[in-house]
């Protein structure tokens, strides 16, 4: 529909025709309620455009389209190799449009354009190609039993999958979920975060003519209505959610209405342990990557740095210098920017509220903690923030902040470090810095986390499983493990002559 497009000129001069509708059954359509979502540029707080916001009725239409597609032989009986070919073609289309997609990601989200283009989009393309290669390698096994029975298993798609993604990595999170779901033969109804719908909408515009109608549906909407409708819908077989722990618990509760298959990737307060035999310069650089990347808006960010007493002061000085030299805050479209604005005013205010909390509880603010306002005096910019002398009872130590905000504290022994690191309700990521190979593996094995980096931080890989323990989630994404989240095993028993 002609009125479901808007012509935009981005801050970098790129001209973009953007669809603004709900993408259902390979068409962009209006919301039945007439509700809209207005996207705000976090760099200067201006309005970019408005897009349609799905109601519960729209979610129902998308689910029905997905169910029809799942039952249609054009998708159901499509050979697995051909599913893989479609994913390869999708990756090629994304690559051909990566500058536009990266522009929208930066404009809508605030992350540096260089990061969106050279890191996020490369990951998105890589994920679709990775799972394209897996599509015809998803199979069961034969199981020896007795001479009178032949048994085997089938790996089959789950069905209609609802996917709810967050605002910190819109395109990457869409790819993490779409890639394995489609490779396994499922169909999808995906809801982008209401804060950042634009890049995923443009991604939807690449789907018609490639995937059959209804296989992929993308519905913008607010969590309280569209998200709730997805989690509670009786004809959805699986829900995959990435977001806060609080919202993840709500999704899990609502999804219990029909015992949906669930994958949850939620919050974190990941520790980074630095022992006194570490290469401190490398530890400081990796600690910076671990917390300041993506404006600190990373679920597995190593936001609690635990340093052995003998090297504590030296590390703090090295880290402060690294942050000062590396964290160039500014216009995300500028080539030398390393840190853009926080995604929304609400997130900006949330981070600053923790600065006040840290001060009031007696921690030492040694860097940042204030708004950065050199970009025209507007925008949701915050200087990289470092607190030291932090106690384990403080809010800034225990709660996920989701910003360029790190707390540093000390420990005496290895046992102290492990006790402090594991004293949290979260268990997503963790990191260990030491030159003692035995200690590295010993500590990694005892850390209560789904992922451990040894002498690095947050350098994830699409071939390696990603996920947490405790209140950081259920299930795994990426790698071969990501396929398990989108298949179900059927056991087949064949009687070879047993007579009663």
Residues with catalytic roles: 265
Distance CA 407, CA 336 (A): 26
Decide if 207 contacts 86 (C-beta within 8 A): no
Contact 271, 452 (CB under 8 A): no
State the Cα angle at 477 between 143 and 262, rounded to 5°.
Answer: 80
Q: Which two tokens stand for residue 26?
A: 């390979």
CA distance 431 to 474: 21
What does the alpha-carbon distance between residue 211 and residue 176 come to, in Å, rounded to a whole number? Answer: 18
Terminal-residue alpha carbon distance, the chain: 65
Q: Are 142 and 493 in contact (CB under 8 A)?
A: no
Distance CA 444, CA 461 (A): 18
| Cα 342 from chain centre | 16
Backbone angles phi, psi at 117, to 5 degrees: -80, -50
- The closest of 290, 288, 283, 339 to 311, measured between CA atoms, is 283
Classified as helix, coil or strand, 150 is strand
Closest by CA position to 22, among listed 218, 213, 195: 218
Distance of alpha carbon 399 from alpha carbon 269, whole angstroms: 7
Residue pair 138/183 in contact (Cβ under 8 Å)? The answer is yes
* The 3-state secondary structure of 390-440, one letter per residue: CCCCCHHHHCCCCCCEEEEEEECCHHHHHHHHHCCCCCCCCEEECCCHHHH
Closest among 462, 497, 496 to 482, alpha carbons compared: 462
8 Å CB contact between 410 and 307: yes
Cβ–Cβ under 8 Å, residues 411 and 420: yes
């Amino acid at each position: 529909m002609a009125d479901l497009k808007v012509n935009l000129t981005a801050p970098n001069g790129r001209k973009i025709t953007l669809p603004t509708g709900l993408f259902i059954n390979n068409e962009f359509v209006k919301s039945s309620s007439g509700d809209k979502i207005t996207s705000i540029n976090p760099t200067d707080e201006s309005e970019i455009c408005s897009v349609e916001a799905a109601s519960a009725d729209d979610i129902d239409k998308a689910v029905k389209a997905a169910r029809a597609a799942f039952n249609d032989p054009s998708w159901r009986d499509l050979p697995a190799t051909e599913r893989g070919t479609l994913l390869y073609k999708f990756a090629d289309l994304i690559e051909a449009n990566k500058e536009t997609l990266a522009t929208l990601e930066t404009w809508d989200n605030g992350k540096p354009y260089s990061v969106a283009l050279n890191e996020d989009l490369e990951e998105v393309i890589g994920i679709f190609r990775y799972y394209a290669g897996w599509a015809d390698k998803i199979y069961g096994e034969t199981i020896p039993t007795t001479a009178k029975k032949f048994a085997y298993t089938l790996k089959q798609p789950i069905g209609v999958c609802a996917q709810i993604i967050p605002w910190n990595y819109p395109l990457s999170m869409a790819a993490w979920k779409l890639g394995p779901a489609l490779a396994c033969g499922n169909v999808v109804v995906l809801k982008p975060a209401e804060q950042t719908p634009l890049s995923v909408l443009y991604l939807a515009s690449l789907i018609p003519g490639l995937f059959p109608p209804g296989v992929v549906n993308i519905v913008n909407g607010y969590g309280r209505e569209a998200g709730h409708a997805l989690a509670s819908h009786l004809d959805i077989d699986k829900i995959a959610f990435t977001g806060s722990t609080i919202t993840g618990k709500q999704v899990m509760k609502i999804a219990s209405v029909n015992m949906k298959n669930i994958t949850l990737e939620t919050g974190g307060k990941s520790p980074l342990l630095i022992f006194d035999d570490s290469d401190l310069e490398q530890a400081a650089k990796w600690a910076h990557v671990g917390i300041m990347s993506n404006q600190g808006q990373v679920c597995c960010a190593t936001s609690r740095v635990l340093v052995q007493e003998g090297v504590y002061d030296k590390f703090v000085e090295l880290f402060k210098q690294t942050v000062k030299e590396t964290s160039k805050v500014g216009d995300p479209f500028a080539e030398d920017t390393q840190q853009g604005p926080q995604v929304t005013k609400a997130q900006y205010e949330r981070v600053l509220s923790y600065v006040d909390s840290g001060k009031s509880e007696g921690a030492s603010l040694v860097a940042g903690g204030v708004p950065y306002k050199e970009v025209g005096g507007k925008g949701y910019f915050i200087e990289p923030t470092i607190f030291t002398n932090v106690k384990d009872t403080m809010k800034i130590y225990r709660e996920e902040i989701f910003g360029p905000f790190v707390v540093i504290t000390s420990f005496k022994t290895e046992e102290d470090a492990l006790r402090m690191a594991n004293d949290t309700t979260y268990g997503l990521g963790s990191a260990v810095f030491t030159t003692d190979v035995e200690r590295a593996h010993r500590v990694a094995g005892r850390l209560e986390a789904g992922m451990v980096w040894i002498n690095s931080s947050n350098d994830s890989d699409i071939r390696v499983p990603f996920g947490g323990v405790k209140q950081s989630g259920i299930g795994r994404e990426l790698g071969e493990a990501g396929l398990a989240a989108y298949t179900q095993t059927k056991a087949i028993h064949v009687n070879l002559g047993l007579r009663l």
